[in-house]
Chain A
Amino acid sequence: DAGITQSPRHKVTETGTPVTLRCHQTENHRYMYWYRQDPGHGLRLIHYSYGVKDTDKGEVSDGYSVSRSKTEDFLLTLESATSSQTSVYFCAISPLAGGGRISPLHFGNGTRLTVT
């Protein structure tokens, strides 16, 4: 699976609580991405990283923050979870920005988050 793992796989939390999702890679890829996937929508980019401590916002970044203190780890934090953040979250990695023929994005298995 391209050496990428997400944790936890499932989480149920209450509105207003902080939540952190972890993405860990063993491929030493430069680019890491956090997406959310909801019915009727394509994958929507939350935040991405292009190196240690180098991150930028995606199209749906409000309510989310990220950190990348090591090449292999990319953390997604919901500071105060809301019901609208109930979703499936995917982490993806690539050595090339946006991926390419030889280096497409490889995805983790996802985290299903429910905010009650």
Chain B
Amino acid sequence: GQNIDQPTEMTATEGAIVQINCTYQTSGFNGLFWYQQHAGEAPTFLSYNVLDGLEEKGRFSSFLSRSKGYSYLLLKELQMKDSASYLCAVRVLQGYSNYQLIWGAGTKLIIKP
């Protein structure tokens, strides 16, 4: 079956660095997304990895290892506004041309002053 695992909740301190892990067991891997979702709001796109390695975008970086079925989202210089849920999603190819997204349950990140 297709499965994605993320920690349910994490706590970090303002100004610090936090790493949110995502492990996946899927077939037909075709890319991995990270989305941010503030409470009561819609998910918004953060990053996309399809090749192994690190992608940096400002304070946020995302890493992918396809051989290990592993990704992480790294948040630096944490701000209170980073308190949100972070969703990991894997794009998979099912059959000839049917692309679907498999979603993790999300990691709730709590930032403390």
Shortest CB-to-CB span from A57 to chain B, Å, is 11
Residues of A within 8 A of B48 (CB): 99-101, 104
Residues of A within 8 A of B41 (CB): 109-110
- Taking a contact as CB atoms closer than 8 A, the residue among A100, A107, A108, A110 that contacts B31 in the complex is A100
Are B101 and A99 in contact, with the CB atoms below 8 A? Answer: yes
Are B91 and A98 in contact, with the CB atoms below 8 A? Answer: yes
- Taking a contact as CB atoms closer than 8 A, the residue among A1, A40, A44, A97 that contacts B103 in the complex is A44
Q: Which of B89, B101, B103 has the most CB of A within 10 A?
A: B101
Residues of B within 8 A of A104 (CB): 33, 35, 45, 48
Are B31 and A42 in contact, with the CB atoms below 8 A? Answer: no
Given contacts A90-B42, A99-B33, contact A105 B101 (CB under 8 A): yes
Are B4 and A109 in contact, with the CB atoms below 8 A? Answer: no
Closest to B101 in A: A98
Chain A interface residue bracket vs B: 20 to 34
Are B43 and A90 in contact, with the CB atoms below 8 A? Answer: yes
Are A45 and B101 in contact, with the CB atoms below 8 A? Answer: yes
Are A43 and B91 in contact, with the CB atoms below 8 A? Answer: no
Are B33 and A41 in contact, with the CB atoms below 8 A? Answer: no
- In the complex, whether B27 has a CB less than 8 A from a CB of chain A is no
Residues of chain B touching chain A, judged by Cβ–Cβ distance below 8 Å, are: 4, 30-31, 33, 35, 41-45, 48, 50, 87, 89, 91-92, 97-106
> What 8 A-B pairs have minimum CB-CB distances, sorted nearest first?
A42-B103, A98-B99, A97-B99, A107-B42, A104-B45, A101-B48, A98-B91, A43-B103
Q: What are 27 A-B residue pairs whose CB atoms fall within 8 Å in the complex? A: A40-B105, A41-B105, A42-B4, A42-B89, A42-B103, A42-B105, A43-B89, A44-B103, A97-B97, A98-B30, A98-B91, A98-B101, A99-B45, A99-B48, A99-B101, A100-B48, A101-B48, A104-B35, A105-B33, A106-B45, A107-B42, A107-B43, A107-B44, A108-B42, A109-B41, A109-B42, A110-B41
